[in-house]
Amino acid sequence: MHLVTTTNKVKENWGGKYFTLEFIRDPKKLVKDWKKEGGIVVHLTMYGVPIDKVIDKISQINSKILVIVGSEKVEGWFYYNSDYNIAIGNQPHSEVAALAIFLDRIYKGEELNIQFSDAKLSIIPQERGKKVIKNG
């Protein structure tokens, strides 16, 4: 899964070495190649089918999933070449929020418990204040 990460320092401290950030010159080629390789393409758009209606089907997909999140002006091509156009609410919203809710549904909330094995730092949850430990 391609996801935008923040700075390398965050990645180095908190893990997640398999996250990469790439700028793609030709996003349509990416979509075509992805599908050729047997991958599934999901486009998150407020015009699509409500997530609740397709999440069961999506959850059963065993192929890799490319998630497209656009802004106001996504070309029609992406609507017609995605396997699923999925709405995280049929109203204007933050794309970051849409991606978060989509991943949350896919992972059934378990994403909140993920610990990256390559993390140098870990948090010990506190009711007040901050507690961070160095791993290993």
Site residues for a second copy per CB under 8 A: 6, 10, 14, 46-52, 76, 79-80, 85, 87-92, 94, 96-101, 104, 109, 111-114, 116, 119, 122-123, 125-132
| Residue 132 bridge partners (DSSP) | 123
- Nearest residue (CB) to a second copy, 31 versus 87: 87
24 φ, ψ (degrees, to nearest 5): -110, 125
Least separation in angstroms between CB 34 and a second copy: 18
CB atoms within 10 A of CB 48: 19
Q: Nearest approach, Cβ of 1 to a second copy (angstroms)?
A: 15
- Closest approach, Cβ 28 to a second copy, in A, equals 16
| The two structure tokens encoding residue 77 | 């091509």
With respect to a second copy, which residue has the nearer C-beta, 29 or 53?
A: 53
- Residue 1 or residue 123: which is nearer to a second copy going by CB? 123
51 versus 106: smaller Cβ distance to a second copy: 51
Spatial CB neighbours of 17, under 8 Å, sequence gap ≥ 6: 11, 116, 118
Closest CB 43 distance from a second copy, rounded Å: 10
Which residues partner with 40 through β-bridges?
65
> How many CB atoms sit inside 10 A of residue 77's CB?
11
Q: For residue 80, which amino acid is it?
A: Y
